[in-house]
Amino acid sequence: MSIEVNCALIKEGSGLIGLSLISEPQTEAEIFCASMPNQLIKNQGSIELTEDGIRFINPRVGEVSFFVSPEDLKALRELFSGERGKIGILRDGFLTPGFKIVLVGKENAGQRIRLRRA
């Protein structure tokens, strides 16, 4: 069974300021998104940028992958390297658990562009 999670890039103008993961109403997806921020903070979970996308690995539940354009992959590398400023991890989602990783100071900005599952 796949983990039903939606991923979106958060853009402001032409620049990438973050990304979000929000679960569908599925137990595994909700556990994935609810526990992933703590897994990242504890260095137990990880986010990997691949040659054609992004992979989120949560050792409690499993992993999910999404396709990302080469241009957006470059912007994600810059975001995660700290070149664009400090990033923070915040809870996100309304009816189901989620989180976002976004530039500090841009927490409520931007437009979400949904990614396709890998």
Confidence of residue 109 (pLDDT cuts 50, 70, 90): confident
- Contact at 8 Å (CB) between 110 and 84? no
Q: What pLDDT digit, counting tens, does each position of 16-65 carry?
A: 999 999 999 999 999 999 999 999 999 999 999 999 999 999 999 999 99
CA dist., res. 84 & res. 115, Å (int): 22
Number of structural domains found in the chain: 1
**Domain that includes residue 61, residue range:** 5-114
Flag whether pLDDT at 1 surpasses 80.
no
pTM: 0.89
Determine what percent of the chain is predicted with pLDDT higher than 90: 74
pLDDT of residue 96: 86
